[in-house]
């Protein structure tokens, strides 16, 4: 008799507080479970929205959350403090710091504020032991330098979320002991160069995510993304690494548990 169990995976990065999901979360969570996506980390990108994001995590057992100031809004939002982030991290379902980072694509004029904000988030990750969740776009050199310089000031862990930057930044992150997260972009037909970058990375440093509601993988490209679709990206990831889907899913679960230790501890205690 064949085992028809669907391998479990985790959507390591989504935005379930966005209007796209309003009033629809029970169905979204149910569809995720049907696809084998048994855990989700929803990300708060402006700290004033943290109570809303926290309430979503509290209301749904499979949902955890992280919070920080997104680099594109760093100039518009009050500067986060280390103390504020450390205090938020006391919540049992708060499992990561960010997303934070650098984005010079549309918001290069605020690069100095973004760098200051990033360093505050790194210190909070260092103090809490929670992983730093990094958004990086068109800022590879500064990003690699800051991550490296900060590691010299004390250890912290990190995931490069929705990784779609250069092979050089991928190597720099891996060399620092960090993780790369594969989003729907890696499944786009024209993303072979990005797939090659992932294929060159150690498979024990790979996570999967949606970044929902954005970046839906085929066959849903152009539509609203949701956590269930992590499975489509993970199937493409299995191809990239030449692995059986169940083995790749199990590997990404082990990777997620190693990085997001607070989630893993709750699973162990359950």
What's the first-to-final CA gap in the chain, in angstroms?
30
Tokens of 262: 């607070």
Segment 215-226 shows an average pLDDT of 97
Segment 244-256 shows an average pLDDT of 98
| 99-130: b (≥16 Cβ within 10 Å) or e | bbbbbbeebeebbebbbebbbbbbbbbbbbeb
DSSP bridge partners of 41 = 64
Segment 167-179 shows an average pLDDT of 98
Residue 4 has what pLDDT?
Answer: 59
Residue 73 reports pLDDT greater than 80: yes
- Please give the domain boundaries of the chain with CATH numbers for all domains: 9-259 (3.20.20.140)
User: pTM (2 decimals)?
Assistant: 0.97
Instruction: Give the pairing type, strands 158-160 and 63-67.
Output: unpaired
Checking 195-203 for CB contacts under 8 A at 24+ apart, the result is 195/236, 195/240, 196/167, 197/163, 197/166, 197/167, 197/170, 198/163, 198/170, 198/237, 198/240, 198/241, 199/240, 199/241, 200/167, 200/170, 200/171, 201/170, 201/174, 202/174, 203/241, 203/243, 203/248, 203/251
* CB neighbour list of residue 34: distance below 8 Å, 6 or more residues apart: 6, 228
Residue 8 has what pLDDT?
Answer: 98
Residue 268 has what pLDDT?
Answer: 75
R_g over Cα of the chain: 17
Residue 270 reports pLDDT greater than 70: no
- Do the beta carbons of residue 105 and residue 99 sit within 8 Å? no
Residue 178 reports pLDDT greater than 90: yes
Residue 269 reports pLDDT greater than 90: no
- Do the beta carbons of residue 246 and residue 7 sit within 8 Å? yes
User: Residue 240: which of 183, 200, 190 has the closest Cα?
Assistant: 200
Could you tell me the pLDDT band of residue 262, with boundaries at 50, 70 and 90? very high
Residue 82 has what pLDDT?
Answer: 98
Residue 2 reports pLDDT greater than 60: no
Residue 267 has what pLDDT?
Answer: 74
Residue 183 reports pLDDT greater than 60: yes
Could you tell me the pLDDT band of residue 266, with boundaries at 50, 70 and 90? confident
Segment 33-54 shows an average pLDDT of 98
Nearest-angstrom CA–CA distance, 145 and 169: 10
The pLDDT mean for the chain works out to: 96
Nearest-angstrom CA–CA distance, 121 and 124: 5
Q: What is the pLDDT of residues 146-165, one digit of tens each?
A: 999 999 999 999 999 999 99
Could you tell me the pLDDT band of residue 112, with boundaries at 50, 70 and 90? very high
């Amino acid at each position: 008799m064949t085992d028809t169990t669907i391998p479990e995976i985790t959507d390591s990065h989504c935005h379930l507080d966005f209007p796209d999901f309003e009033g629809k979360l029970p169905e979204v969570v149910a569809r995720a479970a049907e696809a084998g996506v048994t855990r989700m980390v929803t990300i708060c990108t402006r700290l004033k929205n943290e109570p809303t994001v926290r309430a979503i995590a509290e209301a749904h057992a499979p949902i955890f959350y992280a919070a920080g100031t997104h680099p594109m809004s760093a100039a518009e939002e009050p500067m986060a403090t280390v103390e504020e982030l450390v205090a938020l991290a006391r919540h049992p379902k708060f499992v990561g710091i960010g997303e934070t980072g650098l984005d010079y694509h549309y918001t290069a004029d605020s690069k100095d504020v973004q760098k200051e904000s990033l360093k505050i988030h790194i210190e909070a990750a260092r103090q809490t032991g929670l992983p730093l969740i990094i958004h990086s776009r068109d800022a590879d050199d500064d990003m690699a330098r800051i991550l490296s310089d900060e590691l010299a000031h004390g250890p912290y862990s990190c995931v490069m979320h929705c990784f779609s930057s250069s092979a050089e930044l991928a190597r720099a992150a891996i060399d620092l002991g960090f993780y790369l997260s594969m989003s729907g972009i890696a499944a786009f037909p024209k993303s072979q160069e990005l797939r090659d970058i992932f294929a060159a990375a150690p498979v024990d440093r790979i996570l999967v995510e949606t970044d929902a509601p954005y970046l839906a993988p085929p066959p849903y490209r152009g539509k609203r993304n949701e956590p269930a679709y992590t499975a489509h990206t993970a199937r493409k990831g299995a191809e990239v690494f030449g692995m059986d889907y169940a083995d790749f899913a199990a590997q990404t679960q082990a990777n997620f548990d190693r990085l997001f230790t607070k989630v893993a501890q709750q699973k162990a205690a359950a």
